[in-house]
Chains A and B, each alone.
Chain A
Amino acid sequence: MRRSALIVAAIALLFLAPFGLDTLQLRVAIEIVYFGLFAVCFNLLFGYSGMLSFGFASTFGVGGYAVGLIWKHFGAVPLPLALVIAALAGAVVGLVIGFFCVRLRGTYFSLLTLAFSQFLFAVALKWRDVTRGDDGLTVTPPDLTLPGGFVLHMGNASHFYWFELAIVLICLWLAWRFIRTPLGNAALLMRENDERAAFLGYNVFGTKLIVFTFASTLAAVAGALFASFQRLVSPGALDLQMSTEVVFMALFGGTGAFLGPFLGTAAYILLQNWLAKTTEHWPFVIGFLFVVMILFMHTGLVGLFGRGGPIQRLLRLHRPAVEESR
């Protein structure tokens, strides 16, 4: 009861955020929300199922191109419908890529996802008739009329934020439900030992493929939101840099908790914005922090502050016996 009250309060606070932030801060918040969803999806693969993808930006970019092409060719298709189509596009691409990738384990899986994403990148770059190549595709999201007659203007940062937050919360809820299904549990088992899972009668290939497709679907929604906000989608949406950043974001937050990657995204983007003001060589600092983090706290921020982490242990120094007897 108390827990659900807390969640409601947190969500209400998130929706009120535009009243407390200036335009620049709000833009940062918008970035955090869609990249946060992207990082959580990445973690469905890595943290929950042990699949480290080096090409996860491919479905993110596909979602972006999907909405861009829809609005370019079919006019003002309503936003929710466009997002659903983007999600479907992500699902199809995820299904195809996953079909080949999830058979492989460990480094082989990472390399094959990398190969596919580079292939998609090359297609986005060279198929100029459709994607407009390097110049990128202009994305023009139409305004959304809510049932009460209230119109959300997509050009307005607050309105966009509210819409985006609603969509992302729905997606996060779906992902949360998803990992709690028996299938989600099976994925955890496969992360630990997929040979054993196979012997226990689980369909390893099918399970992993469903997880991969599901994560790709939601990643495409995140990509569609990204493209709608930037009003542009270019091959940069699915290049190696983007795939790299999502790895950093998720790992910074910690892959051991559901919302860890979301937290990591917030930390990463705030850190990046702050560093970029300080030094033009901020990628070096990010890379350095990443290496240090892998070395000394590979469980990320969540591991540092979460249950049983060093900070909590420090705060409870005077009563370790109670902890142990539990």
Chain B
Amino acid sequence: MFGLSVYATQALHGMVYGMLLFLVSSGLTLVFGMMGILNIAHAAFYMLGAYLAYTTVAATGNFWLSLLVAPLVVGFLGAAVERGLLRRIHRYGHAYELLLTFGLFYMTAEAVRWIWGNYTLQVPTPELLTGSIPLLGSQYPVYRLFILAFSGLICLAMATVLLRTRVGIIIRSAVADGEMVSALGINTPLVALGVFSVGAALAAVAGVIAAPFLQADPAMGAAILVDSFVVVVLGGFGSLLGALLASLMIGELQSFGVLWFPAFAMVFQFLLMAAVLVLRPQGLFGEKG
């Protein structure tokens, strides 16, 4: 029905989206593992990243600058949300924390419409990365390969920090058993603040590099939100490797779902998420019950 090159291109598309999804989900899953909060506002951080990229490019014409500005701004915002808002209501229980992040997401989505308008904004591809190159029997846009490479690099950096440094050990132990780590004299609230903030910054990075590819759109937050939930569930709450595998899986699933069953592409992932929650609530790759 289709040539081999179509499949290869489609698989690449899936990988590109999967890696973006991973950048967003990684923070989400770590925060959930450490604090027990599924931070719905995380998708708002991603959206803010894309819009900040638009504004930075519009103001200075320099895309690379936005890659610095957006994570910084959003990282601080994330720290403020954790410190100023979430920690205040910690004693009411997780349901209220979830509701708060939910309210924040709703608010930010509307604030974005208010500030930037209720339409899609084009973010130009940086000049260095325009055009396409022949790959696997067809032409493939260079920018998407850049997304792949860049997010791959971040992924490697993250793995190095988590697996090879002291901070990484502390974070992984805090995800596994926060109380124990706290009893060993480590300031876990500070670690949580850091992870929350860095997670937010990573979501913003994802937003920035997604901007020239998916454009800045008021609905982009809701779209990635649902996908990243599916990833977190599939990968297992708190598991980074799980999040990576699940992200790539969802990317491919969407990519090929659109190709083969366009009418039901949107149902697939929900069925998958429901099936995993029912049969294996700890996720496909998770260890915690």
Contact = CB atoms under 8 A, between A and B. Distances in A.
Nearest to A279: B114
Interface in B258-276: 263-264, 266-267, 270-271, 273-274
A209 B274 CA distance: 17
Contacts of A247: 99, 102
A274 interface: no
B107 A111 contact: no
B229 A291 contact: no
Interface centre among A106, A112, A115, A126 (most CB of B within 10 A): A115
Report the contact-size class of chain A (Cβ under 8 Å from the partner): 35 or more
Contact of B95 (A50, A122, A240): A50
Contact of B277 (A108, A284, A288, A291): A108
B38 interface: yes
Given A122-B267, A288-B107, A52 B98 contact: yes
Interface string A84-115: 00000000000000001001101110111011
Given A108-B277, A115-B273, A295-B100, A290 B106 contact: yes
Interface string A123-155: 100100000000000000000000000000000
Contacts of A298: 89, 92, 96
Interface residues of B, number: 38
Contacts of A126: 263-264, 267
A104 B277 contact: yes
Contacts of A294: 89, 96, 99-100, 103
Interface in B27-46: 32, 36, 38
B106 A119 contact: no
Interface in B233-253: 233
B277 A295 contact: no
B274 A112 contact: yes
A281 B96 CA distance: 25
A283 B89 CA distance: 23
- Most-contacted residue by chain A among B89, B95, B278 (CB, 10 A): B95
A100 B99 contact: no
Interface in A280-303: 281, 283-284, 286-288, 290-291, 294-295, 298
Shortest beta-carbon contacts, A-B, top 3: A287-B107, A284-B110, A287-B106
Interface of A: 46, 50, 52, 100, 103-104, 106-108, 110-112, 114-116, 118-119, 122-123, 126, 240, 244, 247, 251, 281, 283-284, 286-288, 290-291, 294-295, 298
